[in-house]
Amino acid sequence: MRVGLGTGTTARWFILGLAERVHQGLKLRAVATSVATATLASEHGIVVEELGAAGLDFAVDGADSIDPALRLIKGRGGAMLREKIVAASAERFVVIADDSKYMSVLRGRIPVEVVHFGSARTLRVLADRTSMAWALRIGADGDPFTTDNGNLLADSEYADVTDPAALAAAIDSVPGVSGHGLFLGMTDLVFIGHSDGTVEQLSAPGDTVAAGG
């Protein structure tokens, strides 16, 4: 089995649970979406390899915002470009999240990965084409955040995304942007965890199935 491993706090719990199954004899190979995820998985006995031409059986990741059409905002951890490559390479892309992430419309800051060259101009064009304010993300060290790909990361202003497809198209049209955190039409299955311990399964717009606690 070939499994894609996401990045972030929720994905971390999946990796730790998967490691327990590996220790019990489950055979799999994993592709990590970040250096941090690769390190965590390797430390817990999961074999990590590069993404090959054959793709993946499935991938599991978290999300920052999920709407009823199973569209996502991702990228709080800064790994959304690799996460999108891995998700697109999987036969099934599964998202796990708590119920605070499930919303009537996508809501939050949209991250974009920006190449260094001309980054100030890229942000200006982004603002013009999206009618949103954008700013470079600053890391804990006070310097601009750098992705595992060596690029900069910028975030939009906090907003409701009422037309995700139009916003994604506007962002994609800007030279200098190498990726963004809008995941549209990619998600096959979502598990939403509730505070009472129950889990809700979403597999299609308007179709929910109780999955137990």
pLDDT, tens digit, 9 for 90 and up, residues 151-197:
999 999 999 999 999 999 999 999 999 999 999 999 999 999 999 99
- The question of whether 83 is a catalytic residue gets the answer yes
* Sequence letter at residue 89: S
- Give the model's pLDDT for residue 205: 57
Render 123-182 in DSSP notation, one character per residue. Answer: HHHHHHHHTS-EEE-B-TTSSBPB-TTS-EEEEEPSEEES-HHHHHHHHHTSTTEEEESE
Tokens 């980054």 correspond to 119
Residue 100 makes CB contacts below 8 A (sequence gap 6+) with none
Which is the catalytic residue, given 43, 49, 83, 91?
Answer: 83
The predicted model scores a pTM of 0.92
Q: Under DSSP, is residue 19 helix (H, G, I), strand (E, B) or coil?
A: helix
pLDDT, tens digit, 9 for 90 and up, residues 72-82:
999 999 999 99
Mean pLDDT within 58-81: 96
- Give the model's pLDDT for residue 105: 97
Residue 96 makes CB contacts below 8 A (sequence gap 6+) with 10, 11, 14, 60, 61, 62, 190, 191, 193
Complete domains list, the chain, with CATH: 2-100+184-210 (3.40.50.1360), 106-177 (3.30.70.260)
- Give the model's pLDDT for residue 204: 55
Higher pLDDT, 213 or 110: 110
Of 130, 213, 124, nearest in space to 171 by CA: 130
Percent of the chain scored above 70 by pLDDT?
Answer: 95
Separation of CA 154 from chain center: 15
Residue 179 makes CB contacts below 8 A (sequence gap 6+) with 80, 81, 84, 112, 113
